[in-house]
Amino acid sequence: MRSFILGLALSVLVGSASVPRLGAVVGAENSSTNSPVGRWKTVDDVTGKPKSVVTIWEENGKLFGRIQKLVNPDPHDPNPRCEDCSGAQKGKPVIGLRILWDLQKDGDGWSGGTILDPANGKTYKCFLSLEDGGAKLKVRGFIGVSLLGRTQYWLRE
């Protein structure tokens, strides 16, 4: 009888210990459709072709993003650097370059942060919003007011 009670107690303890982890995984899956956190394939707004893969993460309530890899890099320059960037970003390799920072939740989107265009080294104010049930990320970079800018749509990887 004692072994039965001990076995029952252990199964309850082990079972309850695994529930929070299962809940965390389910929560992570659900949040992926409600949050830009994850990996995104960037798409050139002019050509419509994929350019890179960006990883977005959250830190202290703010979103940040970094280029993880280039899609079809130039064979003559497979590891380009951001020569037109300024400050600490100048001359850094594009792969691993932080291109999004300090975006905060703002209603249905994220704003108040900055995006870097590694093609020209310029930074812009930025607004992000999810579309198509979290499968697409609308990325709006602008100067001053949102009307003066451009939009790209990134695809969740």
pLDDT tens sequence across 43-53: 987 889 999 99
Mean pLDDT over 16-32 rounds to 35
The total number of structural domains in the chain stands at 2
- What is the torsional sign of CA 53, 154, 44, 81? negative
Which residue shows structure tokens 């390799």? 93
Strand blocks (E) in 23-135: 38-43, 50-59, 62-70, 98-106, 109-117, 122-131
From the number of C-beta atoms within 10 Å of its C-beta (0-12, 13-18, 19+), residue 20 rates as exposed
Together in a domain, 84 and 107 = yes
Per-residue pLDDT, 46: 84
Q: Please tell me whether residues 42 and 72 are part of one structural domain.
A: yes
Tell me the residue type at 14: V
- The answer to whether 83 and 94 are in contact (CB under 8 A) is no
* Domain extent for 21: 1-33
Same domain for 68 and 5 = no
| Residue 54 and residue 5 share a domain | no
pLDDT of residue 32: 60
Report the CATH number at residue 75: 2.40.128.520
If you average pLDDT over residues 51-79, what whole number do you get? 96
Which amino acid is located at 104 in the chain? Q
Q: Is the domain of 84 the same as that of 11?
A: no
Residue 22's pLDDT is 30
If we measure between CA atoms, which residue out of 27, 46, 65, 37 comes closest to residue 157?
37
